[in-house]
Structure formats: structure tokens, C-alpha cells
Amino acid sequence: MRTPRLNAAAAVQELLGGKFGKMSTLIITYSNRLIYEARTT
């Protein structure tokens, strides 16, 4: 699936540079959920 959300997640992950490790993945997942809900509301 190629979606703006996945692209945004990749960009955020790149910005974080792995400083937060697994936490960054959790944050991205949570952010994607918020973005998705905001777009579908």
C-alpha cells in the first residue's frame, strides 16, 4: 500500500534517526491513527 500516511511515517522515522528506537515506531503508529481518524471525520 502506498499512502501519504506511510510516506509521512517514513519521513518521521528518518527525522528521528532511530534515537528513540522502538518508541518511534509506536509514536508513528499512534500518529497514523490520529491522522487517519482526522481525515475520515
Nearest to 5 by CA among 41, 31, 40, 24: 31
Mean pLDDT by runs of 10 across the 41 residues of the chain is 67 69 77 86 73
Dist. CA 2–CA 4, nearest whole Å? 7
Dist. CA 22–CA 35, nearest whole Å? 20
pLDDT value at residue 39: 85
pLDDT value at residue 15: 74
| pTM of the predicted model over 0.85 | no
